[in-house]
Amino acid sequence: MAKIAVVGGTGDLGNAIAKRLVKAGGHQVLIGSRRAEAAAEAAAALGPNVGHGVNAEVAKNCDIVIVTVPYSAQANTLKDITDSVGQAIVVDTTVPLVPPKVMRVQLPAGGSAAMEAREHLGEGVRLVTAFHNVAAHKLATDEVVDCDVLVFSDDVEARGQVVSLVGDIGMRGLAGGSLANSAAAEALTSLLIFFNRTYQADGAGVRFTGLKTAPPIG
């Protein structure tokens, strides 16, 4: 039983993750937003026991804080919650897409949105990144999402907890290595968007093969 806040939980990805967490049961879920009213509305739609509040508020006293905002809002959102998160695991899901060319890999000068998140949060925060490659509209359904979730962190124990959490919502989580490796998953998202157009995919996904001791698929 973990207390999990979804910061930016009114957006497509955050809402889908929250929905799956509620459905899985066993965790206390809170929806955060910049606007308290929007958070309350989204929480009510998910069920009677879902908490809500502004981002910096829901991020307090949690075990896990999942941040699901667009790249353009990443810096401000992380700064908003830095003083709240304490020893919680912060799961940043940011993909550094640069509109309008979202099908083109354009990693930040620092190497990845993950390394930027590390800058914004400071060294003391337990930072993990994940969920870069999941199509939100598929995650919002009850169907199996044919995609692995890559999980990155320099904190091996935190990474393991998030891999396990991914399993709770019915997907396969895979440890992808250090935080710096997040660049691989972040870059992959532009390819998936390219595939959606080029190969008429309705939410292309990625699976890794040949992994003998990884959690089973589905």
- Which residues sit at the interface with a second copy, rule CB under 8 A? 103-107, 111, 146-147, 150, 174-178, 180-181, 183-184, 187-188, 190-192, 194-195, 198-214
Nearer Cβ to a second copy, position 45 or 156? Answer: 156
106 or 141: CB nearest a second copy = 106
Amino acid at site 131: F
**What DSSP designation does 36 have?**
H
Tokens found for residue 118 = 């590390």
Closer to a second copy by Cβ: residue 49 or 200? 200
For the bound state, the minimum distance from the C-beta of residue 52 to a second copy, rounded and expressed in Å, comes to 33
Least distance CB 97 / a second copy (angstroms): 13
Give the HSE-up count for residue 53: Cα atoms under 13 Å, Cβ half-sphere.
13
Compute the least distance from the CB of residue 147 to a second copy, in Å.
6
- Closest separation in Å from C-beta 88 to a second copy: 25
Name the residue nearer to a second copy (CB basis): 142 or 202: 202
Nearer to a second copy, 22 or 150 (CB): 150
Q: How far is the CB of 93 from a second copy (least distance, A)?
A: 17
N-term to C-term CA, the chain: 22
Cβ within 8 Å of residue 100, ≥6 positions away: none
Contact in structure between 90 and 77 (CB atoms under 8 Å): no
Q: For residue 131, is it left (φ>0), alpha (ψ between -120 and 50) or beta?
A: left
How far from the centroid of its chain's Cα atoms is residue 136's Cα? 10
Neighbours of 184 (CB within 10 A): 15
